Amino acid sequence: MLRDTAQVKSAMHKPYQRAGAYRMSKAVVTKPRKSAKPYPNASLLVETAWLEKNLKNQNLRIIDCNVRMTVKSEGGYMIEPGLADWKAAHIPSSHFIDLISELSAPHPTLKFMMPTADHFARVMSLHGIGNKHRVVVYSRGANYWATRLFLMFRAMGHTKVQVLNGGWDKWAMEQRPTTTLAKKNPKAIFEAKSRPGQILNKAEMKVALSTTSTCVINALHPDVHAGRKTSYARAGRIPGSVNVFAKDLIDPITKKFLPAAQLRKIFAAVGAMKAKKVITYCGGGISATTDSFALMLLGHKNVALYDGSISEWAADPKLPMEIGD
């Protein structure tokens, strides 16, 4: 989530220095460090500088899909759309799309479930997003609402979608332009072509667990993974799953993804880089998308998300759970 107002204001009043700039002194010139090796799939990201230069691109659609999620004192989460934040200030030309009311399938107990292809297509068309458009998504904080919508686009066959690296937080810290004005896009037609195997239901997850070549990753906090804490029906994790906490993949200040070498080291440590297939899950299919996206950045070619995640799995007493470090 976006840091508190005081922190953001403090960051926004500091002069912005572009990466790689020379720093001069009386007698010494400090050369810029060699840039880290890029991600194998770096094209899945766009940087803030690029987006600012392309704000007037008529073929570009920018989506703010943030959701406010705060922890209740009695446990659980308070979830509400980020529309008020978008109205207060947003990236010029961006549209707000509500993941709660617009892009979640009805379910008696679970939130944020994947909608049908027809439903997804109808929402995108209403927002003036067509198959020809290049889409950039962003949110606030760890940016996992953006990676959720990114995976939804991909599952619907639209590959011309990218995540803004650092999201709103980095954009604001760098004092890039913002507005309160709403832009109206011309009408468009979006045709969804559902791609099976991208976002899994419970039955598909059970089948996947029977194969030893699959690495299952829990993106929740280590204490939740071990069963020491929980806000779900039962404590613990899906048996055999390993833990890569989603927030550990993001720079805590800039909200950018960590460099490729660091991400690769984290995932290699749990066997994900050599696995033929990786499935990620979390509480409700949101923060796990950060893990999925990071693996895709690293070039992994077979990554899926368990949509219902532990909220669905733990609620079924017939399904096994595992606890302990």
Q: What angle do CA 243, 258, 29 make, to 5 degrees?
A: 155
Confidence of residue 40 (pLDDT cuts 50, 70, 90): very high
Local structure of 57: helix, strand or coil? coil
**Per-residue confidence (pLDDT) for residue 8, from 0 to 100:** 36
Rounded to whole angstroms, the Cα distance separating 148 from 288 reads 8
Instruction: Please tell me the CATH superfamily of domain 40-173, with its number.
Output: Rhodanese-like domain (3.40.250.10)
d(CA 110, CA 114): 11
Domain over 199-313 is classified CATH 3.40.250.10: yes
Instruction: Tell me which amino acid residue 299 is.
Output: G
CB neighbours of 278 closer than 8 A, spacing ≥ 6? 214, 215, 216, 217, 272, 292, 295, 300, 302, 303, 304
**Other CB atoms closer than 10 Å to residue 297's CB: what's the count?**
24
Domains 40-173 and 199-313 share a fold: yes
129: nearest Cα among 84, 85, 97: 97
Instruction: Output the pTM of the full model.
Output: 0.87
Phi (first) and psi of residue 247, to 5 degrees:
-70, -20
Using one digit for the tens of pLDDT, what is the confidence trace for 223-235? 999 999 998 999 9
Supply the pLDDT for residue 212.
Answer: 85
How far is 320 from 256, CA to CA, in rounded Å? 36
| 73: pLDDT strictly greater than 50 | yes
Domain boundaries, the chain: 40-173, 199-313
